[in-house]
Amino acid sequence: MDRTKPQTPLGVTELAARLGARIRTARVRRRLRKEDLALKAGLSRNAIDAVEAGKLTTGLGTYLQALWAMGLAEGLDLIADPGLDRDGLALELDGKTMRVRVGTKADNDF
């Protein structure tokens, strides 16, 4: 059995790096030291370093705490908002009930 870890798509890595950079920019604009943000968010300085580096191994809760501590958590309500999901809404309004069924051959051998 192959137990190799699947590769993370490059797009996901880039998204995390951009989010980390945005969090760093927000911290710097607020003139907060990493230690200050860590204290306010209830995190360690190492956690803030990981967030700003966009490390994928850092938990989502850590990112959320850092954003909350800077007053930026409100914008998160727009992420995956069902009312803004155009593709999902289009499929829902399509009117067709789509079920995924696995095709089976009829066994006519009586």
Domain positions in the chain: 10-76
Tokens of 8: 């993370």
Per-residue pLDDT tens digits for 53-93: 999 999 999 999 999 999 999 989 999 898 899 998 888 88
Query: What's the CATH superfamily of 10-76?
Result: lambda repressor-like DNA-binding domains (1.10.260.40)
Q: What is the pLDDT of residue 100?
A: 57
More confident residue, 79 or 25: 25
DSSP state of 7: P
Instruction: Give this prediction's pTM.
Output: 0.75
**The pLDDT of residue 99 is above 80:** no
Q: Give CA separation, 85 vs 6, 11, 89, 90, in Å.
A: 28, 20, 6, 9
Q: Which of 69, 18, 21, 19 has its CA nearest to residue 43? A: 69
The residues, ordered by sequence, that sit 6+ positions from 34 with a Cβ below 8 Å of its Cβ are: 27, 45, 48, 49, 52
Percent of the chain with pLDDT over 70: 85
Q: Which of 17, 107, 23 has its CA nearest to residue 55? A: 17
Sign of CA dihedral 14, 15, 21, 25: positive
Q: Are residues 52 and 20 in contact, defined by beta-carbon separation less than 8 angstroms?
A: yes
Q: What is the pLDDT of residue 5?
A: 74
